[in-house]
Structure 1
Amino acid sequence: MFAHVGDRIVVEGARLGEHRRVGLVIAVDRVDGTPPYQVRWFDNDHTSLIFPGPEAHIEPATAAR
């Protein structure tokens, strides 16, 4: 998985009853774009460090890089 600042990360619920979470990647510490990522979650505006699992995917930012 590779991400850039400004991309969205989508984490699908892994278990019954868990909801999908969507956040904005606000920091990528590694030059090659691999995890971990600092993410600001849209549902509660909190930030967290995430090591995404197989239930996550990146939606690239629409603006040209």
Structure 2
Amino acid sequence: MEAKEGDTLLVHGRTVGQHDRKAKIIKVMGDHGEPPYKVRFEDDGHEAVVSPGPDSVVRHPGEKIPGK
């Protein structure tokens, strides 16, 4: 996974009824765009340092989402 500041981290819900969460990447703390990332979640403004797992994807500004 590789990201830069300003990208969006999309964390897919892992259980039935759990919604996907979007977070703005505000700081890349790893080397060469790798995790961990400091993010701000869109739904509640909470900030956290995350090391995303396989249930997450990085979206770059202007990137088309497949199937849309």
Q: Same fold (TM over 0.5)?
A: yes
Structure 1's consecutive aligned runs of 4 or more residues displaced over 4 angstroms after TM superposition are none
CA RMSD of the aligned region, Å?
0.9
**2:42 matched residue in structure 1:** 42
* Partner Cα distance (1:53, 1:39) in 2: 14
Give 1:13-32 correspondences, 5 Å limit: 13-32=13-32
Q: CA deviation at 1:60?
A: 0.6
Q: CA deviation at 1:38?
A: 0.3
Identity, in percent, stands at 35
**2:56 matched residue in structure 1:** 56
Deviations 1:5-44 (A, max 9, x none): 0000000101111110001000001231110000000000
Aligned length: 62
Matched, 1:9 2:9: yes
Report which of the two has the higher share of helix. Answer: 2
Unmatched 5+ stretches in structure 2: 63-68
Task: Give TM-score, length-normalised by structure 1.
Answer: 0.89
